[in-house]
Every structure is written in C-alpha cells, then in structure tokens.
Structure 1
C-alpha cells in the first residue's frame, strides 16, 4: 500500500495507436453487457500518488478517485475502502471505526489509517453506503473500473477481523460498482483469489506478487488479467522473468510519485 496522496497536473491523451489497441482488446473480451475488463498484458501505469501524462505505450492507468481519468485509456479508480484516509477519522461515524476493548481506535500504524469496523452486517452496509458514493463519483468521472484498497486489512488485524467479513463487504461494493458499469479489481490478498464466486471481483491489482511468488495464483484466478506493481529492481526482475509475457507489470517508487518529482521511479519489463 503506497503513500496515499493526490496531486493533479494536466495530461494529454495517449497515442491514437495505443487507444486503438485498447478498444480492440476491450471489444474482443467483454465480460458482460454492462462493463469492460482491462485488456490482458497491456501497458500499465500506477498513478495513485498523483496524475501525470501517461508514458508511451500505456493503455491502463490507476489513479486516485480525486483525479480525472486519462483520455483514451482504460482507467481504474483507486478507493481506500477498508481503512480511513490519514487524519480522516472525523469523516466517519465514531462507531464505524474499529476499537479495542478499551475504546481506542485501531490504526494501521504503517500508514496512519484508522481501521473500519466490518464485524457486523449492519456496519458493513453503512460503511459500504459511504464508499459506494465514492464509487458513484468514479463512474460519473468516466472511469471504467474501481480498485478498492485494503482488502487484506483482516490479515493484519486477525484479533478483530476475518476473511468472511472482508468477502461480505467487498461483495457489497462489487455489486454496486457493477450496477454503475464498473469492473472491480481485487487488490492484493492472494488467499482470496479463488473466492470470486463470493466476491464478484473481475481482475487483480497486486503489489509485489513477483517478490512473493504469488503472480501465478492471481493469473490462474483472473485469466491473466493481472496488473502487477513492484517496488524493487529485484521484484521487477522476478515478475518479468516469470510473467512478463502474460501480465501487465510496472515498477514504481514506494510513494508512487508523479513524473518529474524527486524520487520518481517507473520501469517495465
């Protein structure tokens, strides 16, 4: 989970040739009459830390929900669905924040994000109602898909949360997004890749599956519609060696900085 912030700069359309490839791929493999899947093994860029002009050859882009989609590309809208944004606890009803037995808010300390309380059906429905308004915003802006982050929160806080709660909650988001014409990507959590009949998820966005030897599991579950983000040269090399001919792979800096920023990194196979 890279640093979550959004800056926005103007950007130009991807090349006409790249757009043609994208449209052909989408038309050839429609999942339904309601939404399109990202084309398999296509140029990918991960821009959730700030939007910038798509690099040459990129036809799939993930951006934060506050940014505009890139013209001519298949655009995925990043939404932090299972945790509150840093310092955004006040945006949530107090009882929807996960708390210890002593009443203290449970935080994902690595990102300073309060964890949302998915332990009851009623709370899951209330949280989904809020997140779904963000998904509506993604649809209104013209995104083709949504990427709800932190599906794996239950793995970090097993004292409070479990996989069934996560599956039930993501199912609420998936059903709503499909109704808005959006595909939904599974973000990480390889243990749930085989649970598509429960979650309704359509493709995968995975961080460091090359590093952790998980790309094959996602590829099998999602028919190679897997978008891989690596954060190290070694991880990129492993992902490319094993899956460069089948999956969409990019290396980014951990903070996912916009192009032109100090520390920006972007490499592909």
Structure 2
C-alpha cells in the first residue's frame, strides 16, 4: 500500500480483513525456526520462478479488469485472483487490520505494548496494532493465525503472497529488532512454500540479502524505489523479480523520467495514491513497459 513518508517504508492495507486462525479449520502449529542461517527451501518446484517479465497492476483498492498488456495483479487477500493472470495475494503480516483489533486484543500478549501496557501503534495508521514478535512462542502463535490467511490465498487460487509491514520493528520504540522480523517472516515463508505459493518481500530494502537467503523470499514488491533511489537494494538481490509502484503525488519529474531511469525494474508502474479501481475518477495506471 502507499508509502506516506520516506524510508523506513510504511504500507497501509486499504481493504481486507485477515482471516483468523480460530475461525478456520486445519490450522497447525509451525516448527520453530533455527537461530542460525539455514538452507532455505525454495518453492520453485511447486510454484515455479517468479515471472519478472510481466507487467503487474497493484489493485489493493479493489480488483478490476486489468489494462491490455498487464500480465499480473496484486490484490487483497479478501479479493479473488485475476483469471488467467499471475496473481499476488496481499496479507498484513506484522500488524493488524482495523477490523481485527478486538480479536488480537483478546490475546494481549501478542500485541506490542509500552511500559504502561498501552498498545504501541504506527502514528500514521492508529487503527493498526503492531504484533509482538519478540519471542519464539509469540511468533509461533502469530504465524498460526496469519498463516490461515496465507493458506486461504492458496486455496483461492493465488500464485504468490506478499507480506506487509515487515518494517514494523522500526516503529516499535526499540522493543523489536530486525532479527525478530526475520524470524517471523521465515515462518510465513515456510507456510507459503508448503502451500505452493511464492512469497514476496514488501519494501525494507535495508534487509539486503537476508530476505532471500535467511527468510526465503522469492521476489520483492517495492513502493517508490525510484523516488528514494533504492531500487538497486531490491534488484541486486532479486534480479528481475521486482515489482515497483510509483505514485502520482510524489513523482520525481514525469513518469517518463521515472521510466528512463536505469535503476527501475521491468515492472515499474504508476498508480494513484489511494489505488482507486478503474472507473473511479481518481484512478491512474501507467506502466513503463506498456
């Protein structure tokens, strides 16, 4: 979802409610990840390599018929995949959706709080709670609940999943670390791969190769990497398997200037900040490769 400030990156889920593990059957407890670097199981056998030669549309504000030439879409986990197109499923993996607030507060130790016991929230999005991923037990319980949404994406027919708010540790007042984020993301990657899905790193270019080598991310979705001169932090790790979204209200020059920048990945698109669906007067979609 659209960034609202410079790095660290921040995303908003405009639509969608995470399916809770308590309401879905078949959830299981996932194994504890080792603390040392592991051999990452890739999902290529089940799902193939990420198609870096496709133009993707970012449709988190609501699905619609893609423009001619678009080969893939990203949609919310409560939406449906685009027929015959490569479809990425959006899941908020490190913070709650607004409608899920009370459900997460029912297990208060999974919500990050300050010394007074007040939930620590992102000041840009006060309806979202940050998950407390500081211990392995908590990460396992969080992953069991969020994992229900990941597997539901596979059941719905999506090809891949992107996990939002990987960088929530930067908004934790020092209570979470990048290692906590990596450990929780690793659980999500295992769940996705077991379900036959590829999994994408959302922003957080400062992670470097850890996302690929430790977590097992297969591709990256970056917002405004051209604006912030950080596209190489993704393409150096994932090659062509990078989707970049630039926004109309924060362009550096024109979109033609963006496309002429040698750092941008093949699938670099322009969207309106609110990701309005086609037919809405505010809707904008352009792609460098179209």
TM bucket (normalised to shorter chain) is: 0.7 to 0.9
Structure 1 residue 46 and structure 2 residue 58: aligned?
yes
- Stretch deviating more after TM superposition (44-53 or 31-40): 31-40
> Are the structure 2 counterparts of residues 161 and 239 from structure 1 closer, same or farther at C-alpha, using a change threshold of 3 Å?
farther
Q: CA deviation at 1:193?
A: 3.1
Deviations 1:173-229 (A, max 9, x none): 001100110000000000113112111100000001001111112111002210001
Structure 1 residue 6 and structure 2 residue 15: aligned?
yes
CA distance in 1, matches of 2:111, 2:171: 16
Give the structure 1 partner of residue 47 of structure 2: 35
Give the structure 2 partner of residue 85 of structure 1: 97
Query: 1:97-108, aligned counterparts within 5 Å?
Result: 97-108=111-122
Report the TM-score when normalising by structure 1: 0.86
CA distance in 2, matches of 1:238, 1:156: 33
Give the structure 2 partner of residue 178 of structure 1: 193
> Are the structure 2 counterparts of residues 130 and 245 from structure 1 closer, same or farther at C-alpha, using a change threshold of 3 Å?
closer
Match of 1:119 among 134, 141, 147: 134
Give the structure 1 partner of residue 270 of structure 2: 251
Kindly indicate whether the alpha-carbon contact (under 8 Å) linking 1:147 and 1:184 is maintained by their aligned counterparts in 2.
yes
CA distance in 1, matches of 2:158, 2:99: 27
CA distance in 2, matches of 1:65, 1:31: 20
CA distance in 2, matches of 1:48, 1:127: 23
Moved over 3 A (4+): 235-239, 243-246
Kindly indicate whether the alpha-carbon contact (under 8 Å) linking 1:218 and 1:224 is maintained by their aligned counterparts in 2.
no
What SS does the aligned partner of 1:201 have? coil
Report the TM-score when normalising by structure 2: 0.80
Q: CA deviation at 1:234?
A: 2.3
C-alpha root-mean-square deviation of aligned residues, in Å?
1.9
Where in structure 1 are there 5+ consecutive unaligned residues?
8-29
CA distance in 2, matches of 1:82, 1:243: 32
CA distance in 1, matches of 2:150, 2:207: 22
Give the structure 1 partner of residue 81 of structure 2: 69
> Are the structure 2 counterparts of residues 258 and 209 from structure 1 closer, same or farther at C-alpha, using a change threshold of 3 Å?
same
What SS does the aligned partner of 1:126 have? helix
> Are the structure 2 counterparts of residues 239 and 156 from structure 1 closer, same or farther at C-alpha, using a change threshold of 3 Å?
farther
> Are the structure 2 counterparts of residues 169 and 227 from structure 1 closer, same or farther at C-alpha, using a change threshold of 3 Å?
same
Match of 1:150 among 151, 165, 175: 165
Q: CA deviation at 1:238?
A: 5.2
What SS does the aligned partner of 1:34 have? helix
Where in structure 2 are there 5+ consecutive unaligned residues?
3-11, 17-41
Deviations 1:130-167 (A, max 9, x none): 11100110000110000010001112335211100000
CA distance in 2, matches of 1:36, 1:145: 10
CA distance in 1, matches of 2:45, 2:57: 26
CA distance in 2, matches of 1:67, 1:202: 22
Give the structure 2 partner of residue 193 of structure 1: 208
Larger RCO (alpha carbons 8 Å, 6+ apart): 2
> Are the structure 2 counterparts of residues 46 and 177 from structure 1 closer, same or farther at C-alpha, using a change threshold of 3 Å?
same
